[in-house]
Amino acid sequence: MKNFRRTSALATLPVMFLAFGGVAHASAFYLQEQSVKGAGRAFSGEVADQGPESIWWNPAAIGWQDGCAGALGVSAILPRGNVVDNGTVIVRPGQAARAVGGDSSTRNPIRNGVLPAGSFACGVAPRLSVGISVNAPYSFTTDYPSTSWARYSADRTKLRTYDIAPTVAFAVTDNLAIGASMNIEYADATLSNALPNLSPLLADGEQRLAGNGIDFGYTVGAQYHAGPFSLGGSYKSAVKHRLDGSVAITGLLGPLAPQNRTLRTTASFSTPWQAMIGARLAVTPAITLNAQAVRTGWSEFDAIRLGGPLNTAIPENYHDTWSYAGGVDLAVSPKLTLRAGVQRDESPTSDGNRDARVPDSDRWNFAGGASFALSKSFTVDAAGSYITFKDAKIDRLTAAYAGTQVQTPIVVNGMLTNAHAVVLSLGGRLRF
């Protein structure tokens, strides 16, 4: 019974181990669709652009704000792809390895989503501006059937973060501005996976985690503008999250039945830092070229640390990544501007550490967009992106009841195939 009492805590490890991730639209579970204007050029110049719609990338973007302005946008995110089994096996105590069973392919496990973003800024004194942005940077939902081959690694997952960033910026000179934001970030997670009973003839049990919390980070940045050339750089800190919640274990039968219970616990983890640099160059009055590079500190997501009564840490082994983007703005007329861009984005996951809850891989983003000024004060923005994902292995070894006499390894052997996403964005900007 001592070992079985350990089981009640350790049974929660797989679900926490795989807690956060999914095929999103920048690396891992980060959503970069925070500006419709930026989406049209594949986010290739936002850190060097001006206006409240660029606050997320650089708080100095409002350094020369004249009057007040706001931006509001919404993106429909439509991911597609297959997660397929290539021979995953389960090894129950005292039994030979056998096929995990269940549906051998799950189509489109990442749900469609709608992502809003908004920002507002005003010049309040000569060279001084204040603003605010509201974003949802780390959000996704996956839903695997209870009969999926991946059920012991991933069942249902929902992660939502909401980031509110009060911002201040100061134009040091006519050419140089600096800015800073406080990132107030709320996180809410609900996730579950199946637990194998000791006999393959018995139905699976389940464990489910739910938790939430509010935590803080910051962003600092600067911009330099000289004639047709603009240069910007910023640093967004990691946010160390602590979620308060519970783990519920149900459906265990036979000698595992006493472990059905609900435990109060905490989970702590960090979302990554970002260091960004970008430039814009107006090569003619009508054509502006954009470039941007982002280093993302995914190594901050090195482990998920569990509080009492679990008191352990589970390594995640994410690595830092690069993103590169280039794009162009073409002013067709005083009212109409067209945009296009291409982005290459690396995944922080790697072979041997990738699972069905995080079916992530390197990607290309091909984007186009347009802005049309309906009046001197109001502009409509639209954008569309097509994102392709490299086929990748799903091969992270996991185990139910790890470290106990009933440890049950699941030797995962799967693939992410034919993954892609379409993102459609619409928004508007108002100046007054």
Domains present along the chain, CATH in parentheses: 2-431 (2.40.160.60)
* pLDDT number for residue 26: 65
In whole numbers, what is the pLDDT of the chain averaged over residues?
91
* pLDDT number for residue 356: 86
Helix (H) or strand (E) holding 65: none
* pLDDT number for residue 358: 76
pTM of the model: 0.91
Q: 53: helix, coil or strand?
A: helix
* pLDDT number for residue 18: 32
The single residue listed with the structure tokens 């905490």 is 266
The single residue listed with the structure tokens 């995640």 is 316
Given a cut of 50, the residues of the chain with pLDDT beneath it are 1-24
* pLDDT number for residue 280: 98
Nearest alpha-carbon partner for 119 in 71, 160, 153: 71
Nearest alpha-carbon partner for 168 in 260, 268, 63: 63
* pLDDT number for residue 205: 97
The two tokens of residue 378 are 């109001």
The two tokens of residue 311 are 């008191």
Contact present, 38 and 58 (Cβ < 8 Å): no
Contact present, 250 and 263 (Cβ < 8 Å): no
Nearest alpha-carbon partner for 291 in 276, 307, 311: 276
The rounded distance, in Å, linking the Cα atoms of 111 and 11 is 27
Cis before 309 (ω within 30): yes
The two tokens of residue 354 are 């990738």
